[in-house]
Amino acid sequence: MGLSVSIKKKVNGFILDARWEIGDELAVLFGYSGSGKSLTLQLIAGLMKPNHGSIGLNGKTLFDSESGSNLAPQERSFGYVIQNLALFPHMTVHENILYGAHGLSRTERDQRAGVIIDRFQLAGLEKKYPAEISGGQKQRVALARALIRRPAALLLDEPFSALDNPLRVEMQNFLKEIHREFPIPIVFVTHDVFEAFAIADKIIVYVNGKIAQIGTPAEVFTRPANSDVELLVRTRNRLLQSVESAQYDATYE
Amino acid sequence: MDTLLFSLKLSLQVATVATVFVVIIGLCTSYLLARRNFPGKELLDILLTLPLVLPPTVTGYYLIVLFGRNGLLGRHLYAWTGWSIMFTWYAAVLASFVVALPLMVKTTRAALESVDEELIRASYTLGHSEFRTAMKVIFPLAKRGIFAGTVLSFARAMGEFGATLMVAGNIPGRTNTMPLAIYSAAASGDRPQAVIMVVIFTLISGIFLYAANKLTRRLI
């Protein structure tokens, strides 16, 4: 069970060659911009087609170059949230969320919408348009819209990167809570080393379209597999060192 | 007075019917041109745009070649039914349709292409079909351009003269739309009649544009 990915894709001279598997955990795809993380999500969601490989979700084949099977994005049960959130500007908060509840009966839809609006602290905002609400509220609408039809997995492409730090941490914690309530595979793309460390159950490190390391945050930060990964995690380790030495100085000076 | 009322009513009728077809067919072709790739796409675009640059008489001539009693298509229609579209008010609709369609397609295609691709992808990943996405996301977000195209098309259809003259003729009480009636009045030296119709036509066009502007602001 879970999400398994084994894909090759060539785009404008860039080659993505990624292979990984996750269970019902929060996996962070971590690496520099342009290392193939977002491309991976688009391929998983079915918005682009890999040249080779296979993608499977909970035992179901979504794509397989051998057998030629390739499900349309509509037939893949993912909740997909991107950086700019893609909220429909002509729909209210309520309409945006209901738009995610495709194929459900009216009563089921309304019932789920009520529950999710309460849970995502959006009560009172139902009739507002995306342009009229705050950044954090928009994030919650986008997550609610992605979750209302109970997808088999969540794909999140730098969803919080437009937020200021305190709000960002709040949203990270909120995501962890939501994950406890919906234990499904979550793939979270970020190039922010602190974010990766804060939320990941598992980190998948991307370097130039290849997987450089897969492990828990502790493993990746204490035992980087190679110099590329070392370079990626160095900012964080340096900062922690300087905090530690500052504490040391404060204690002993 | 009879001529005036008849031609005014006929012009409105022709323009309205032509615009209905322009909107339906214009939306479909604009969508294909904006979002699909297929062989002959640019050729289709050029064919549809040509009436915008050709003299209306040339467009009218092509319509005769196609739909005339001995025309490529009209011949078969006449053989089956004994009926020809030429010199009926339907021909005036056809002429207005062909001449107004490019205005609809140009404006609508640009509006459809400006809809954020991310929103369309979001709709797909939320499980919505291409058709539903078009109806719920793409067209609503392009409604400003679609509305502008519709207004332009209606105005163009109202004012259509050259192609209409070629295919529908200028038969009093049957196919003399207002622009044609004005031409007849002016040509036959009936100045008072011509002046009245010119003023009325100008007033109606002005009111129409005013209403369209107002509606645009309310709608969007």
* pLDDT tens digits along B77-103: 888 988 889 899 999 999 999 999 999
Q: Is the pLDDT of residue A238 over 60?
A: yes
Asked if A88 and B128 come within 8 Å (Cβ–Cβ), the reply is no
pTM for the full predicted model:
0.87
Over residues A31-85, the pLDDT tens digits come to 998 899 999 999 999 999 999 999 999 999 999 999 999 999 999 989 999 999 9
pLDDT at A28 over 60: yes
Find tokens 């969601």 and name the residue.
Answer: A45
Pick B125's closest partner by Cβ from A80, A88, A90. A80
- Whether the CB of A48 is below 8 Å from some CB of chain B: the reply is no
Give the residue from A180, A190, A130 showing the smallest Cα distance to A155.
A190
Percentage of chain B lying above the pLDDT 90 cut? 78
pLDDT at A163: 85
**End-to-end Cα separation, chain A, in angstroms:** 55
- Assess if CATH 3.40.50.300 describes domain A18-46+71-77+154-253: yes
Q: What is the pLDDT of residues A124-147, one digit of tens each?
A: 999 999 999 998 899 999 999 999
User: What tokens were used for B115?
Assistant: 């809809």
Percent of chain A scoring above 70 in pLDDT: 93
Q: For the residues of chain B, what is the DSSP string, one character each?
A: -HHHHHHHHHHHHHHHHHHHHHHHHHHHHHHHHHH---TTHHHHHHHHHHHHHS-HHHHHHHHHHHHSTTSTTHHHHHHHHS---TTSHHHHHHHHHHHHHHHHHHHHHHHHHTS-HHHHHHHHHTT--HHHHIIIIIHHHTHHHHHHHHHHHHHHHHH--HHHHHHH---TTTT--HHHHHHHHHHTT-HHHHHHHHHHHHHHHHHHHHHHHHHHHHH-
CB contact under 8 A, A88 and B125: no
Across residues B182-211, what is the average pLDDT?
Answer: 92
pLDDT number for residue A233: 83
Cβ-defined contact of A99 to B123 (cutoff 8 Å): yes
A213 and A19 Cβ atoms separated by less than 8 Å = no
Per-residue pLDDT, averaged over A93-114, amounts to 93
Number of other residues whose CB lies within 10 A of the CB of residue A115: 12
Best mutation target among A48, A102, A104, A112 (most B Cβ atoms within 10 Å) is A102
- The pLDDT assigned to A250 comes to 65
Chain B CB contacts of A78 under 8 Å are 125
- If 0-12 CB within 10 Å is exposed, 13-18 middle and 19+ buried, where does residue A142 land? buried
| Cβ pair B181, B78 in contact under 8 A | no
* Contact map slice: B 118-147 vs A, CB within 8 A: 118-119, 121-129, 136-137, 140-141
Mean pLDDT of chain B: 92
Average pLDDT over residues B18-42: 95
| C-alpha span between A55 and A45 (Å, rounded) | 10
- β pairing state of A186-190 and A26-30: parallel
Name the closest residue on chain B to residue A147, using Cα atoms: B126
Residue range B135-145: average pLDDT?
95
Please answer yes or no on whether A82 and B122 come within 8 Å at the CB atom.
Answer: yes
Reported as a pLDDT band with limits 50, 70 and 90, residue A249 is low
Q: Using alpha carbons only, how large is chain A's radius of gyration in Å?
A: 19
Tell me the pLDDT band of A251, cut-offs 50, 70 and 90.
Answer: low
d(CA A171, CA B34): 38
Q: Do residues A6 and A53 lie in contact, with contact meaning Cβ atoms separated by under 8 Å?
A: yes
Name the token pair of A209. 């379209």
Nearest beta carbon to residue B126 from set A84, A90, A99: A99
Which residues of chain A have a CB within 8 Å of the CB of B128? 74, 99, 102
User: Measured between beta carbons, which residues in chain B are less than 8 angstroms from residue A80?
Assistant: 122, 125
Predicted confidence (pLDDT) at residue A170 exceeds the cutoff of 60: yes
Query: What pLDDT, on a 0 to 100 scale, did the predictor assign at position B172?
Result: 86
Closest CB to A74: pick one of B119, B128, B137.
B128
Instruction: Please indicate whether residue A178 or residue B215 has the higher confidence score (pLDDT).
Output: A178
Across the range A191-218, mean pLDDT stands at 93
List, for residues B52-69, the tens digit of each pLDDT value. 999 999 999 999 999 988
- At A144 the pLDDT is 95
**Mean pLDDT along residues B103-129:** 95
Residue A65 to residue A52: CA distance in whole angstroms: 5
Query: Across the beta sheet with A69-70, what order do the strands follow?
Result: A69-70, A60-64, A52-57, A3-11, A14-22, A210-215, A202-207, A26-30, A186-190, A153-157, A78-81
CA-CA distance, B59 to B97, in Å (whole number)? 11
| 8 A C-beta contact, residue B182 and residue B195 | no
Contact between residue A141 and residue A124 where contact means Cβ atoms under 8 Å apart: no
DSSP E strand boundaries for chain A: 3-11, 14-22, 26-30, 52-57, 60-64, 69-70, 78-81, 153-157, 186-190, 202-207, 210-215
**Nearest Cα residue to B164 out of B105, B217, B94:** B94
- The full DSSP string for A164-218 is -HHHHHHHHHHHHHHHHHS---EEEEE--HHHHHHH-SEEEEEETTEEEEEE-HH
What residues are paired with A80 via a beta bridge? A155
Distance CA B6, CA A231 (A): 83
pLDDT of residue A252: 63
What rounded mean pLDDT belongs to chain A? 91
* B41 contacts: CB under 8 Å, gap ≥ 6: B32, B33
pLDDT score recorded for residue A109: 93
* Domain spans in chain A, listed from the N-terminal domain onward: 18-46+71-77+154-253, 86-151
Q: What is the pLDDT of residues A143-169, one digit of tens each?
A: 999 999 999 999 999 998 888 888 899
Picking from B183, B27, B21, the residue whose alpha carbon sits closest to that of residue B95 is: B21
More confident residue, B216 or B183: B183
Please report the pLDDT score of residue A253 as a whole number: 55
List domains and CATH numbers for chain B: 2-219 (1.10.3720.10)
Q: CA torsion A191→A193→A195→A199, rounded to 10°? A: 110
Q: How far apart are CA B84 and CA B90, in angstroms?
A: 10
- By the CB < 8 Å criterion, does A104 face chain B? no
Find the largest Cα–Cα distance for chain A: 68
